[in-house]
């Protein structure tokens, strides 16, 4: 396998490593008349004719002004929803029956005469004005008058409602909010507009009809909400309503001596959110706390396992992290860390280490690398990848252009700067222990090597190596 190291100046190139909402406000203009009396009265006060002429003129102008004001403030013309598209940009009163109320978080659509997309006209309420109109779902089926300037949107006429003064319900007798009653009392309110409350005890689906039986299953249910087949698609999966507390709005009718309301729109049905019992909330909180603790424990275990794997794969930083953990009495996996350190050390004992394969590199140019001096060797060392660190150490140890003292100084520096390679550090320790007659067992404990090194320095002149900054590692 060939690895290439990046070129570093000024070292000669020798080898390379493989690592590399419109608001449409309603506006009205009013005209004013100037007081022309002073202009019309002449300065000659004895001239009665001029005075009469002046008064006559003022009265005439005042009459014209009043007429203009009446014309400008005339009540808008009432038109049907079907004719709204003939009056774009005109102030109108559009009349019709609300066939559909569609509510979104940011907008409400009141579709007149027909549901969307067949509605000939729509009244629109932007979110900033919805609070003024209250429960808009109660407008469904009402005959209304909508006043404002007709605008075109997607080729359809609409009026933007910003005030309740723009909306008038024609059938005021039915404008009151319906009374809420229980399902058990529904049989006392036939032909009345009512809101019936209760829990859906049974959902029965047939091809042509759906029955939502309240409080008890059929035939004991005191009240039933009925959805005919032509409206079922609007309600989606009705089976999900089973067991839910709901409110049903509509006119109570009698069928087979039982009260029911026919549902034609989702606006007639509201699911009531039930409060969560305190003990359930407490238990849920406990579950969440346990889940967080479990995730934290899994993260710690994952971090530990990945560190062990990295150390076994020659990552010196990971190995030193394991040593730190093995010496920390508060670390959860201290015993496992200690065993992992032992396993890594055993894999580097002499008999095993000598047989361990390591990556080698091939020189890719014709340069005589044996002629490199220490500056060149040290500079290239800074670019060596962990995978090639041991191979480069072997190259330096066998170099013929530097003396023994320089080699030993470089090898000693590898004890602390091994390019994060355990193999390179271990190989450097072995070389030094042999040359200095120092003990080196178990691996990566350099105490005796360092002692012998200090003795060696007293009698030998060794050039300083820039990479040698620390004298001992764990």
Domain that holds residue 110: 77-174
Q: Which of 174, 197, 222 is the last residue of a domain?
A: 174
Residue 343 belongs to some domain of the structure: no
More confident residue, 434 or 9: 434
Q: Are residues 262 and 189 in the same domain?
A: yes
In angstroms, the CA 212 to CA 150 distance is: 41
Within-domain flag for 31: no
> What does the pLDDT read at residue 36?
33
Q: Give the domain-ending residue among 148, 174, 200.
A: 174
Q: How many domains does the chain have?
A: 5
Residues 45 and 124 occupy one common structural domain: no
Can you say whether the dihedral through the CA atoms of 273, 279, 280, 281 is positive or negative?
positive
Least confident of 30-34, 110-114, 179-183: 30-34
Q: 467: Cβ–Cβ under 8 A, 6 or more apart, which residues?
A: 378, 381, 382, 410, 413, 414, 416, 417
What is the tens place of the pLDDT at every residue in 326-366?
Answer: 999 999 899 999 999 999 888 877 544 555 566 666 665 55
pLDDT of residue 176 exceeding 70, the answer is: no
Give pLDDT, residue 327. Answer: 94
Quick one: 100 and 167 in the same domain? yes
pTM of the predicted model over 0.75: no
Mean pLDDT of the chain: 80
- At residue 49, the pLDDT reads 44
pLDDT at residue 274 greater than cutoff 80: no
Co-location of 124 and 204 in the same domain: no
List the single range of 28-32, 229-233, 298-302, 319-323 with lowest mean pLDDT. Answer: 28-32
218-246 average pLDDT score: 94
Residues 67 and 87 grouped into a single domain = no
Condensed to tens digits (0 to 9), the pLDDT of residues 134-173 reads: 889 999 999 999 999 999 999 999 999 999 999 998 754 4
Position 342 in a domain: no
Q: At 75, is the pLDDT very low, low, confident or very high (cuts 50, 70, 90)?
A: confident
Examine the domain organization and report whether 326 and 406 are in the same domain. no
**Per-residue pLDDT averaged across 216-244, rounded?**
94
Q: What CATH number is given to the structural domain containing 266?
A: 2.40.50.140
Answer yes or no: is pLDDT of 103 > 50: yes
User: What residues contact residue 412 under an 8 Å CB cut-off, 6+ apart?
Assistant: 428, 432, 453, 465, 468
- Region 280-288: what's the mean pLDDT? 76
30 — pLDDT class (breaks 50, 70, 90): very low
Query: Half-sphere exposure of 345 toward its Cβ, with a 13 Å CA cutoff?
Result: 16
Distance from C-alpha of 187 to C-alpha of 192, rounded to nearest angstrom: 10
Residue 382 forms part of a structural domain: yes
Q: Note whether residue 229 is domain-resident.
A: yes
Residues 313 and 364 in one domain: no
- CA–CA dist 59, 55 (Å, integer): 6
pLDDT at 25: 36
Cα separation, 203 vs 443, in Å, equals 75
pLDDT at 193: 92
- Judge whether 207 lies within some domain: yes
- The pLDDT-based confidence of 287 (bands split at 50, 70, 90) is confident
Alpha-carbon span 139 to 167, nearest angstrom: 10
Q: Has residue 1 been placed in a domain? A: yes
- Say which residue, 223 or 356, is predicted with more confidence: 223
- Do 187 and 168 belong together in one domain? no
Tell me, yes or no, whether 355 and 468 share the same domain: yes
**In this predicted structure, what is the pLDDT of residue 73?**
52
Check residue 303 and give its pLDDT. Answer: 93
Is the pLDDT assigned to residue 177 strictly greater than 90?
Answer: no
- 28 found inside a domain: no
Tell me how far apart the terminal alpha carbons of the chain are, to the nearest angstrom. Answer: 33
**251 in the same domain as 283:** no
Is there a single domain that holds both residue 352 and residue 467? Answer: yes
> Does 287 lie in the same domain as 256?
no
Q: How far apart are CA 334 and CA 117, in angstroms?
A: 69
Mean pLDDT of 237-243: 94
Give the domain-ending residue among 122, 146, 174.
174
Of the two residues 382 and 19, the one the predictor is more confident about is: 382
Confidence of residue 277 (pLDDT cuts 50, 70, 90): low
């Amino acid at each position: 396998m060939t690895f290439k190291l990046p070129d570093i100046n000024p070292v000669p190139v020798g080898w390379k490593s493989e690592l590399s909402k419109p608001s449409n406000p309603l506006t009205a203009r009013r005209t004013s008349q100037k007081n022309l009396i002073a202009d019309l009265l002449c300065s000659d006060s004895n001239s009665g004719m001029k005075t009469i002429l002046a008064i006559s003129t003022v009265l005439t102008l005042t009459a014209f002004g009043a007429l203009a004001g009446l014309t400008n403030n005339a009540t808008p013309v009432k038109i049907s929803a079907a004719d709204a598209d003939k009056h774009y940009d005109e102030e109108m009163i559009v009349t019709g029956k609300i066939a559909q109320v569609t509510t979104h978080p940011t907008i409400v659509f009141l579709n007149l005469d027909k549901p969307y997309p067949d509605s000939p006209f729509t009244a629109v309420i932007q979110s900033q004005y919805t609070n003024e109109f209250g429960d808009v779902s109660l407008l469904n089926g009402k005959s209304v008058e909508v006043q404002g300037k007709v605008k075109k949107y997607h080729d359809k006429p609409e009026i933007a409602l910003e005030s309740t003064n723009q909306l008038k319900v024609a059938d005021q007798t039915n404008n009151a909010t319906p009374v809420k009653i229980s399902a058990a009392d529904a049989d006392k309110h036939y032909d009345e507009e009512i809101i019936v409350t209760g829990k859906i005890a049974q959902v029965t689906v047939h091809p042509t009809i759906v029955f939502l039986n309240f409080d008890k299953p059929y035939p004991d249910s005191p009240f039933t909400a009925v959805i005919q087949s032509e409206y079922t698609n609007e309600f989606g999966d009705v089976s999900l309503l089973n067991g839910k507390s709901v409110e049903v709005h509509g006119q109570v009718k009698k069928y087979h001596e039982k009260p029911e309301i026919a549902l034609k729109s989702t606006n007639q049905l509201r699911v009531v959110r039930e409060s969560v019992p305190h003990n359930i909330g407490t238990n849920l909180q406990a579950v969440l706390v346990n889940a967080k603790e479990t995730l934290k424990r899994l993260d710690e275990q994952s971090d530990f396992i990945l560190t062990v794997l990295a150390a076994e794969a020659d990552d010196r930083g990971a190995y030193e992290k394991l040593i730190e953990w093995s010496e920390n009495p508060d670390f959860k996996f201290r015993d496992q860390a200690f065993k992992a350190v032992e396993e890594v050390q055993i894999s580097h004992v002499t008999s095993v280490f000598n047989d361990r394969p390591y990556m080698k590199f091939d020189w890719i140019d014709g340069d005589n690398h044996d002629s490199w001096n220490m500056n060149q060797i040290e500079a290239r060392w800074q670019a060596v990848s962990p995978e090639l660190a041991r191979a480069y150490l072997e190259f330096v140890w066998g170099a013929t252009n530097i003396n023994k003292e320089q080699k030993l100084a470089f090898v000693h520096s590898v004890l602390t700067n091994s390019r994060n390679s355990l193999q390179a550090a271990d190989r450097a320790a072995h070389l030094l222990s042999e040359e200095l007659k120092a003990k080196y067992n178990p691996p990566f404990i350099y105490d005796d090597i360092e002692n012998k090194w200090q003795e060696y320095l007293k009698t030998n002149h060794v050039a300083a190596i820039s990479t040698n900054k620390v004298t001992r590692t764990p």
